[in-house]
Each structure stands twice: as structure tokens, then as C-alpha cells.
Chain A
């Protein structure tokens, strides 16, 4: 039972760390200075949430593992994030659409998590809900600007949808661990959030003059540690110093 809860918390933590790391890759390289500030700001929110969730998972597990043990000492087969968040940044259109897809899912998720039986999850939900509102606003504004901007930006935005939409299905799938956490009242169910997610996204797509894709091949596997090839490279870079100095304190 507690194993399942730990796994479910790690799934959620990994989603946040991996996406936060992806956003941090933009820092100093964004299309404009304002985005050099906005992307790290969202990244910091996500990494902050991951830290709370890892720490909580470690407490429940009770084996003395802390946030850095989970983040730096697990390899890609042990990471449990969904595939959407590990997708490489691509261009700015893909980064913003990926953000919108994720944030529009997390908003109803955190709302439901306000009723969590776990005080840490409940507290995090209240904080994250405020942050995610900004993430949605910011990314939706960009999806609209780019979708309804120039011919080039519209083509790139349409391509981003083709690139990423297939990865959104996995957001709504609950692993066995997540189902156990739901049954225990700790984490919300996922399947029921699809209506809210589509209701948030469809008006943005309409304003961005983007077609809502009808036919996509859904991709999943992250919750079983079956990832794409990009995650291993991301983790290799992220973990290199920590792993080169076992036991060192930083």
C-alpha cells in the first residue's frame, strides 16, 4: 500500500522535475528577454513542486531517501514521468504548446487535490493552483499569438500540435499505483479530468485558428519506465556531477 503511494507521488514529482528541467534549458537562449525571465519562472514553480513531492515520497517510504536521491540516483527505467514532459523543447511553439497541455491538465488536477487526505499534497495543491493559472495564461497567450501571427508561426504551431498531441492521452491514464493513491484519497483520479482539459483548450485552439486533431496515435509507457530516447540524455546531463561524486554534499 505505502509502496504504491510512494510510486504515485514519484510519478507526479517526475512529471514536474522533467518539465521544469526542460524549461530551464531555455534560460539565456529565449526569443526575447521577457521569456528569459518567464520560462525559468515556470521552471522554478515546477521544480519546487517536484521537491515537495519527492520529500513527501521519501517520508512515506521511510528508508531515508530524500529529494536528491530520487532525482539524481534513479536511471531512466526508474523514472515514472509521462512522455509529454520529456519531449525535447523543439522550437518555441512546441515548448509553449507542451506547457499549455500540461498546465491545462494540472489545473483541474490540483483543484481536485485540494481535498487530499494528505496534508502535504493539500498544501502543495493550494500553492500550485495559483502558479498553474499563470502557466496557462502565459502559454495560451503564446499559442494564440503564434497560431494567429504570421504564416511561418502558424505553420510551426500546427506542426507542434502534430508533434505533441499524441502524448496528451497518457495524462488521463492512472497507473495501478495512482489508482491506489486515489482510493486512499491522497491523489485525484485522472480520467475524469478530460472534460475540463478539453473545455480549457478548445477555445484557445479556436482563437489560435488551430484545428483540434481528431485522429492521433496515443503514446504512453512513461508510468512503466518505458520512455522515448530523449529522457536518457536529459538525465545523463542532469545527474553527471552528482553521480561522479558519490556521497558528496553540495
Chain B
């Protein structure tokens, strides 16, 4: 769904001035950087980390929504949710492939996820408690992901930009589908309306936090902007998301759980926007660093699937080797017979 961005990314490079200037000139000319091109080590590392985090987010993101596949309340919703979670797995697959063009393997990245070394979007460390969470995640979390990812379609690294174009199409479908689930609940029974409001109450702030720390506290952002890996600041994207989402909530008759939320004419260069109240950054950092309700369960679930699947992967490998050996034997036999 969304990578946290560049927390802890080390964008330092050791290349000489001329090399860096030539590279920067290509970036400034909006040329796409491709896997075989020379690139600063810091650029490569930053991308490996970001694409890896993004891929892990897609994979871990399958868990909270997967939690409701078996309980979806209608067959239409069940099929749509199953297809959505499957899409997220597909996003993980393209993104791992994009990262592999930078010289890391999917196995290495998986090990980093399972060991807790690699991060993923902290939004997935919150639990899905009701069916309304499924609609709300689509609406807000996929919605926030789109805000972050549309600029990534123009990212300077070609394979990432191309993967994002495909991913964004599916994410916007997820967002509309999620909003439609919430709309159905908001127009439903009292219990359904209450369920929708409760889900918004729980997911609003974590969704706002998905854009990462305020610009002033966001280390590494500047270098990523210069390299056109990142094109808009965290706060600019967050503001865009809030401005798009608050009217949607109003349309549904739901209340955004921010008592300070108010229209402010001075925002967005005088065009006006919704000013939000203070964000609880302590909570954000606690969840990022592993202290959320679901952090341990999420990694445990991934590790369990991986460990319990080991014999399957080993068998596939062993079978492929046996096959190759047999084929080699047949080829050799065929040659002897022909001679």
C-alpha cells in the first residue's frame, strides 16, 4: 500500500564531484535512470530501502484486510476483498522485482522483514476490528497511498516509476471500492452507521501519520527530493489528502475525529484548506519502532507462513533439480545413441 518513506535512509555518497554533477544533470533533465546505468551508491541504497519498505508494506498489508476475508458479510464483498488482498500481493511482487534490478534478492529482503530489520508502513500495525475497518482502510489507507504514489509514477528510477503506474491504477480502484463500502454502511442501519464512525475514529490519525514526520523533522528528505525519488514534501501530501478527504467524510455524514479541524483561508497559498490539530508523534514513533498493538503479531504471521512453507519451497527446488538432472541424462543418452 505505502512505504513509510525514508526513515533511517542513508543517502550519503562517496563519488567524486564530476560524477555526481553528471548524474544530477541527468536527473534535472528528467531522464529516467535504468538498472544498468551508473548511479551514486547513496541513490541505489535509498531506492533499495524505499522500494523494499514499499514491497514489505504491500505484503504485511495483506494481513489486516485478510483478517476479514472469511467473514465478509456478502458474497459480492467477499469476492471483492479477496481480489483486493490478492492485488496487494501482486503489488508486492512487482515491487520486489523492481528492487531486484538494484542488486538485492527477494530472499534477502524477506529475511530483513522477518528479522525486524526492514520497516514497513506502520499503519498495518493497527488491528482490523469490524467489517467497517475494511471499507475505511480502502478509503483512507489506499487513499493516502495514492497521494504518496502518484508522484512516484514520475520517480527518476525507471523500474520503480513503471511499477507505480500499474500499482496506482489498482490502488485508486481500491480506494473507490472502500469508499463505497463505507457509504453503504453510512446509509445503513444505526449499528452500521456506528460501525462506520467507530472505524473512522480509529483509522483517521494513523492515516494522517502515513505521510511521515513534519518536513522540519524529516531527515534525508532533501537529498531524495534532489534525486527526484520524492517529489513533494510530507506535509504537502498530507495537506492534499486532508483537503480531499474531509469533504468526503462530510458527504457521508461522518465526523473526522479532530476537534481542531477547521477551514483556513491562509492554507495552500491563499486558496484555503483544512487545518488539522496536533498529531501525536509519540504514538507514531512508538508504532514505527515496534510498539504498536499488532507489530509482533504481524511479523509472527509472516514468519509462520515462511517457516511452515519451507518444506514446500525446498521440495520445489529439489524437484526442479531432479528434472534438470534427468533432462541432462536424457540429452547425454540421446547423443550416445546418435553416435
Do A and B assemble together?
yes
* Partner-B contacts on A (CB < 8 A): 17, 21, 24-25, 27-37, 40-41, 43-44, 47-48, 50-51, 54, 67-68, 71-72, 91-92, 144-146, 148-150, 152-153, 156, 237-238, 240-242, 245, 247-250
User: For residues 87 through 113 of chain B, which have their beta carbon under 8 Å from a beta carbon of chain A?
Assistant: 89-90, 92-93, 96, 106
Tell me if A250 and B311 are in contact (CB < 8 A). Answer: no
- Interface SS of chain B: helix, strand, loop or mixed? helix
* Bound CA span A237–B89, Å: 24
- Contact-residue bracket for chain B: 35 or more
A47→B305 contact, CB < 8 A: no
Minimum C-beta distance from A93 to chain B (A): 8
Tell me the interface secondary structure of chain A in the complex.
helix
Please determine whether A153 and B301 come into contact, CB atoms closer than 8 angstroms. no
In the complex, the answer to whether B74 meets A33 with C-beta atoms within 8 Å is: no
Please indicate the chain A residues that have their CB under 8 angstroms from the CB of B309 in the complex.
Answer: 30-32, 35, 92
> Which 3 residue pairs are nearest across A and B when measured between Cβ atoms?
A31-B309, A149-B315, A153-B315
Q: Is the CB of B308 within 8 A of A31?
A: yes
Bound Cα distance A51, B309 (Å): 32
B residues 171-212 touching A (CB-CB < 8 Å): 181, 184-185, 188-189, 191-192
Q: Give, as a whole number of angstroms, the nearest-CB distance from B280 to chain A.
A: 29
Task: Out of B79, B86, B188, B301, name the residue touching A29 (CB < 8 Å).
Answer: B301
- Please list 6 pairs of residues, one from A and one from B, whose beta carbons are closer than 8 Å in the complex, sorted by A's number: A27-B89, A36-B89, A48-B79, A51-B75, A241-B71, A248-B192
A28 to B65, CA, bound (A): 10
For the complex, what is the distance from the CA of A24 to the CA of B75, rounded to whole Å? Answer: 12
CA distance A40 to B88 in the complex (A): 12
A4 to B322, CA, bound (A): 51
- Judging by beta carbons under 8 Å apart, are A238 and B188 in contact? no
Asked if B279 lies at the interface with its beta carbon under 8 angstroms from chain A, I say no
B66 on interface, CB distance cutoff 8 Å: yes
- Contacts from B to A (Cβ < 8 Å): 59, 62-63, 66, 69-79, 82-83, 85-86, 89-90, 92-93, 96, 106, 131, 181, 184-185, 188-189, 191-192, 301, 304-305, 308-316, 318-319, 322
Beyond A36-B62, A40-B86, A47-B79, whether A249 also contacts B313 by CB under 8 A is no
Residue of B nearest to A47 (CB): B79
Nearest CB of A to B76, in Å: 8
- Verify A250–B74 contact, CB threshold 8 A: yes
Tell whether A50 pairs with B75 under 8 Å between CB atoms, given A24-B70, A145-B319, A148-B322: yes
- B74: chain A residues at CB < 8 Å are 68, 72, 242, 250
